[in-house]
């Protein structure tokens, strides 16, 4: 292509995209005028008028819509942070087990990954909520004395009270993402040359210690980038909470939109809050990545 | 210590297997599944025309079996030519649409009556049909040397990948009509398929980009030296190789697509999961969640596994065939 041709193609492309955007925005304006809605964010300061089943900060239906959305955002953040921690533990254990020289461990890990990844997450969440947690007896079970008390009303771990909805989302998301993380970890372990394993085994170092001090430090640079994309997936998937009635960001936005009819504004706010969540996860992963890579270089 | 742990683990597994088996055979009440098989398969499709979706499901099943058994049949010299097989798969799409929607000699059936497994498959196939070409275009744009094309594709891909699918589906259901002229009304199903396809295109684009980047630059240099134009280079040299490399990733994407159609249940479509939820709301089946979920899980697992197996078979076949199927 000559320079001139290239220039023309780019101009045409840009013109086409701008025209499309123009038509869409024009349609939107026409529709908004026709329905008499217009664009406005004043509804944010009006009282929410609906209750939120769980909230980290004090909230009442008479509080403002914006405050309600913040509660939803905090709920999302809470369940995402907890699930990330639990999924990582599950994934690392299962990933390490799949490369263990104990056939029982590797078979179990293979079963876990093969089963969980072929079943839709939404179905799994419904299972955890309706079958596993709502199926518990209403009288609290206390298998470890006062440490853990479980019933179909609430889960109490060491004095910390969790709702059944939160527990279902937490377990469902962690088990689902854990299977993907296991695959990531397995890939990272496979990237470490076989000789490294043989070397620490021949030195008489135990399986666990060798994994921790020889293999993992070398596998981490391959694992971390894929891990952060799994975390982002987990954050996106947490919006399925709405199916089990956990008041996350998406569920609260959905209620707010139905109450006010402000679909476009509500949607924009939802996108913005999600962007913020993504940036948070990405930022912390980058810091972690940096720390790990630097440490690896020093030793 | 490890062997001790293994013994405990084995005992646990034995116990889990035994209690699961006991539940499956003894305690579970499968009447909720066995009594509603037509509902799971085709939803509340009109009684008189039920043979149509069932015919489609049957031919899909037959074709799947044929495809999976093909290496075996070929060895005995009775297998179908793989070109014919690819074309029959392609033919299934218009055939399914025609059988379900009607038209011509068949009575028309409105899309709100479609449901169950048929709807799940239809949603998967048609969003895939939107996502694949759009994704390839976006990937080409993303790797293009034209700055505008590259930036625009990047914005689209990164933007789509940053938002959750349910938000995109929600946009399709509630907001898309606002962006269209007043006269145009598209039905709920089509809106869902479009939103889903646009979403999946961004993920397909990233997989295809991976393939494009894996093709060595010497390939395009060689093609240019032979005097091929830029479009010819992409179409004849680069894309065939890139797509072949991207097939495993695209298979994962297709399996994900099938699983994600379950999200439409939240938006009120009665695909496989949606129809089950409405079934469970029926007082006659109160407390039968576990039976229905186990059945659904088995069904989804089977579908996903069949898809993955077939894709692996296409991978093994000769390249020219593969591209013929992929490009469509």
- What are the tens digits of pLDDT across the range A25-44? 888 888 888 877 778 888 88
Q: HEC states along chain B?
A: CHHHHHHHHHHHHHHHHHHHHHHHHHHCCCHHHHCCHHHHHHCCCCHHHCHHHHHHHHHHHHHHHHHHHHHHHHHCCCCCCHHHHHHHHHHHHHHHHHHHHCECCECCCCHHHCCHHHHHHHHHHHHHHHHHHHHHHHHHHHCCCCHHHHHHHHHHHHHHHHCCHHHHHHHHHHHHHHHCCCCCCCCHHHHHHHHHHHHHHHHHHHHHHHHHHHCCHHHHHHHHHCCCCHHHHHHHHHHHHHHHHHHHHHHHHHHHHHHHHHHHHCCCCCEHHHHHHHHHCCHHHCCCHHHHHHHHHHHHHHHHHHHHHHHHHHHHCCHHHHHHHHHC
- Report the chain A residue with the minimal C-alpha distance to residue B169: A267
Is 0.90 exceeded by the ipTM?
Answer: no
Residues A18 and A113 in one domain: no
Residues A137 and A52 in one domain: yes
pLDDT tens digit sequence for B101-159: 887 788 888 888 888 999 999 999 999 999 999 999 999 999 888 888 999 999 999 99
Q: Evaluate if residue B320 carries a pLDDT over 50.
A: no
Q: Evaluate if residue A299 carries a pLDDT over 50.
A: no
pLDDT of the residue at B325: 46
| pLDDT (average), residues A124-136 | 91
Residues B63 and B194 in one domain: no
Cross-strand partners of B272:
none
H helix or E strand, kind and range, residue A256? helix A249-260
Q: Evaluate if residue B326 carries a pLDDT over 80.
A: no
pLDDT of the residue at A270: 92
Which has more confidence, A53 or A170?
Answer: A170
Please tell me the distance in Å from A17's CA to the nearest CA on chain B: 9
Q: Check CB contact of B152 with chain A, cutoff 8 Å.
A: yes
| pLDDT (average), residues A251-279 | 90
Residues A16 and A124 in one domain: no
The answer as to whether B289 is a domain residue is yes
Residues B68 and B171 in one domain: no
pLDDT of the residue at A89: 96
Quick check: helix, strand or coil at residue A149? strand
Which has more confidence, A126 or B311?
Answer: A126
Banded pLDDT at B178 (limits 50, 70, 90): confident
Average pLDDT, chain B: 86
Q: How many CB pairs under 8 A join A and B?
A: 120
Residues A217 and A187 in one domain: yes
How far is A242 from A249, CA to CA, in rounded Å? Answer: 9
Residues B66 and B193 in one domain: no
The answer as to whether B45 is a domain residue is no
The answer as to whether A53 is a domain residue is yes
B178-214: burial string, b at 16+ Cβ within 10 Å, e else: bebeeeeeeeebebbbbbbbbbbbbbbbbbbbebbee
Please tell me the distance in Å from A119's CA to the nearest CA on chain B: 6
Residues A111 and A237 in one domain: yes
Residues B282 and B215 in one domain: yes
What is the domain range of residue A17?
A: 1-29
Q: In CATH, what number is assigned to the domain containing residue B261?
A: 1.10.3720.10
Residues A58 and A184 in one domain: yes
Q: In CATH, what number is assigned to the domain containing residue A217?
A: 1.10.3720.10
**B293 and A6: CB-CB below 8 Å?**
no
Residues A109 and A182 in one domain: yes
The answer as to whether A37 is a domain residue is no
pLDDT of the residue at B317: 64
Residues A125 and A95 in one domain: yes
pLDDT of the residue at A295: 67
Banded pLDDT at B324 (limits 50, 70, 90): very low
- Cβ neighbours of residue B56 under 8 Å, at least 6 residues apart? B92, B95, B96, B99, B100, B118
Q: Evaluate if residue B323 carries a pLDDT over 60.
A: no
The answer as to whether B175 is a domain residue is yes
Helices (H), A129-206: 164-190, 194-202
Sort out which chain A residues have CB atoms less than 8 A from B300's CB and list them.
118-120, 123
Residues B82 and B230 in one domain: no
Q: Evaluate if residue A118 carries a pLDDT over 80.
A: yes
H helix or E strand, kind and range, residue A3? helix A3-35
| pLDDT (average), residues A139-165 | 80
The answer as to whether A40 is a domain residue is no
- Give A153's DSSP letter: S
The answer as to whether A116 is a domain residue is yes
Banded pLDDT at B321 (limits 50, 70, 90): very low
- Report the chain A residue with the minimal C-alpha distance to residue B8: A104
Which has more confidence, A71 or A32?
Answer: A71
Residue B196 near residue B119 (C-beta atoms within 8 A): no
Distances (CA, A) of B193 to A34, B196, B250: 27, 5, 18
The answer as to whether B8 is a domain residue is no
Q: Evaluate if residue A282 carries a pLDDT over 70.
A: yes
- Structure tokens, A160: 């910390």
| pLDDT (average), residues A142-147 | 73
Sort out which chain A residues have CB atoms less than 8 A from B262's CB and list them.
120, 122-123
Which has more confidence, B320 or B181?
Answer: B181
Average pLDDT, chain A: 88
Which has more confidence, A140 or A225?
Answer: A225
The answer as to whether A168 is a domain residue is yes
Domain end among B101, B135, B169 = B101
Residues A23 and A58 in one domain: no
The answer as to whether A38 is a domain residue is no
Banded pLDDT at B80 (limits 50, 70, 90): low
Sort out which chain A residues have CB atoms less than 8 A from B9's CB and list them.
104, 108
Residues B170 and B76 in one domain: no
Residues B61 and B161 in one domain: no
* Residue among B6, B255, B266 minimizing CB distance to A102: B6
A160-163: strand order across its sheet: A148-150, A154-157, A160-163
Residues B175 and B302 in one domain: yes
Pairing, β A148-150 against β A160-163: unpaired
Residues B224 and B269 in one domain: yes
Q: Evaluate if residue B2 carries a pLDDT over 80.
A: no
- Structure tokens, B112: 């709100």
Banded pLDDT at A1 (limits 50, 70, 90): low
What is the domain range of residue B63?
A: 52-101
Cross-strand partners of B278:
none
- Structure tokens, B158: 């990164």
Residues B140 and B89 in one domain: no
B 55-114 near A (Cβ less than 8 A):
none
% of chain A with per-residue pLDDT over 70: 98
Which has more confidence, B9 or B82?
Answer: B9
Q: Evaluate if residue B328 carries a pLDDT over 80.
A: no
Q: Evaluate if residue A237 carries a pLDDT over 90.
A: yes
- Structure tokens, B124: 């998967």
**B296 and A270: CB-CB below 8 Å?**
no
Residues A7 and A102 in one domain: no
Cross-strand partners of B119:
none
Q: Evaluate if residue A298 carries a pLDDT over 60.
A: no
The answer as to whether A34 is a domain residue is no
% of chain B with per-residue pLDDT over 90: 35
Residues A4 and A109 in one domain: no
Residues B243 and B139 in one domain: yes
Judged by average pLDDT, the poorest of A36-50, A167-181, B142-156, B267-281 is A36-50
Sort out which chain B residues have CB atoms less than 8 A from A80's CB and list them.
none
**B148 and A271: CB-CB below 8 Å?**
no
- Cβ neighbours of residue A256 under 8 Å, at least 6 residues apart? A48, A65, A68, A69, A262, A266
Judged by average pLDDT, the poorest of A110-119, A134-143, B48-57, B202-211 is A134-143
Domain end among B101, B128, B162 = B101
- Structure tokens, B212: 């494009």
Residues A137 and A21 in one domain: no
pLDDT of the residue at A38: 75
The answer as to whether B135 is a domain residue is yes
Residues B66 and B130 in one domain: no
pLDDT tens digit sequence for B206-247: 999 999 988 898 998 999 999 888 888 888 899 989 988 888
The answer as to whether B16 is a domain residue is no
> How many domains in chain B?
2
pLDDT of the residue at A297: 56
Q: Evaluate if residue B77 carries a pLDDT over 80.
A: no
> How many domains in chain A?
2
Q: Check CB contact of B129 with chain A, cutoff 8 Å.
A: no
**A257 and B174: CB-CB below 8 Å?**
yes
Q: Check CB contact of B236 with chain A, cutoff 8 Å.
A: no
How far is B77 from A158, CA to CA, in rounded Å? Answer: 67
Distances (CA, A) of A216 to A92, A96, B265: 10, 10, 41
B 279-318 near A (Cβ less than 8 A):
289-290, 293, 296-297, 300-301, 304-305
How far is A113 from A119, CA to CA, in rounded Å? Answer: 10
The answer as to whether B199 is a domain residue is yes
| pLDDT (average), residues A66-81 | 93
- Structure tokens, B41: 């398969």
């Amino acid at each position: 292509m000559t320079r001139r041709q290239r220039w023309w193609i780019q101009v045409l492309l840009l013109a086409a995209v701008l025209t499309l955007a123009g038509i869409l925005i024009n349609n939107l304006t026409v529709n908004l005028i026709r329905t008499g809605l217009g664009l406005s964010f004043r509804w944010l300061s009006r009282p929410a008028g609906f209750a939120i089943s769980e909230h980290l900060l004090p909230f009442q239906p008479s509080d403002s819509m914006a405050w309600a959305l913040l509660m939803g955002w905090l709920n999302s953040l809470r369940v995402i942070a907890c699930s990330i921690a639990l999924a990582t533990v599950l994934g690392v254990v299962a990933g390490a087990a799949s490369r263990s020289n104990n056939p029982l461990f590797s078979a179990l890990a293979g079963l876990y990954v093969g089963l969980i990844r072929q079943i839709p997450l939404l179905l799994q969440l419904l299972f955890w909520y309706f079958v596993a947690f709502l199926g518990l007896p209403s009288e609290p079970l206390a298998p470890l004395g006062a440490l853990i008390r479980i019933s179909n009303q609430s889960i109490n771990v060491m004095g910390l009270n969790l709702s059944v909805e939160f527990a279902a989302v937490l377990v469902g998301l962690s088990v689902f993402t854990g299977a993907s993380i296991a695959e990531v970890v397995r890939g990272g372990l496979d990237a470490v040359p076989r000789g490294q394993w043989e070397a620490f085994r021949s030195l008489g170092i135990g399986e666990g210690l060798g994994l921790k001090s020889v293999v993992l430090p070398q596998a981490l640079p391959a694992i971390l980038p894929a891990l952060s994309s799994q975390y982002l997936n987990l954050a996106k998937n947490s919006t399925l909470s709405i199916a089990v009635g956990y008041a996350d960001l998406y569920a609260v936005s959905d209620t707010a939109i139905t109450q006010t009819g402000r679909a476009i504004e509500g949607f924009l706010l939802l996108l913005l809050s999600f962007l913020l969540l993504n940036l948070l996860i990405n930022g912390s992963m980058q810091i972690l990545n940096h720390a790990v890579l630097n440490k690896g270089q020093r030793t | 210590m490890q062997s001790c742990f293994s013994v405990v683990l084995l005992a646990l597994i034995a116990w889990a297997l035994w209690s699961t088996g006991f539940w499956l055979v003894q305690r579970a009440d499968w009447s909720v599944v066995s009594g509603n098989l037509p509902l799971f398969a085709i939803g509340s499709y009109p009684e008189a025309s039920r043979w149509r979706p069932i015919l489609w499901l049957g031919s899909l099943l037959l074709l799947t079996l044929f495809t999976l058994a093909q290496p075996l049949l070929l060895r005995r010299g009775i297998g179908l030519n793989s070109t014919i097989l690819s074309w029959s798969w392609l033919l299934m799409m218009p055939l399914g649409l025609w059988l379900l929607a009607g038209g011509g000699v068949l009575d028309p059936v409105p899309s709100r009556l479609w449901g169950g497994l048929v709807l799940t498959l239809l949603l998967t196939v048609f969003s895939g049909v939107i996502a694949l070409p759009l994704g390839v275009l976006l990937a080409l744009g993303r790797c293009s040397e034209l700055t505008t094309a590259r930036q625009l594709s990047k914005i689209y891909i990164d933007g789509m990948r940053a938002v959750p699918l349910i938000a995109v589906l929600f946009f399709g259901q509630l907001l898309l009509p606002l962006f269209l002229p007043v006269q145009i009304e598209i039905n709920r199903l089509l809106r869902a398929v479009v939103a889903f396809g646009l979403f999946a295109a961004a993920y397909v684009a990233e997989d295809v980009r991976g393939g494009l980047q894996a093709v060595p630059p010497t390939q395009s240099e060689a093609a240019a030296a032979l005097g091929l134009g830029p479009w010819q280079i992409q179409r004849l040299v680069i894309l065939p190789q890139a797509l072949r490399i991207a097939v495993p990733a695209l298979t994962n994407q297709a399996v994900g697509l099938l699983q994600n159609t379950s999200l439409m249940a939240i938006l009120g479509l009665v695909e496989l999961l949606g129809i089950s939820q409405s079934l469970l709301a029926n007082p006659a089946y109160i407390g039968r969640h576990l039976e229905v979920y186990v059945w659904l899980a088995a069904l989804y697992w089977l579908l996903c596994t069949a898809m993955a197996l077939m894709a692996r078979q296409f991978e093994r076949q000769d390249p020219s065939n593969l591209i013929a199927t992929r490009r469509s």
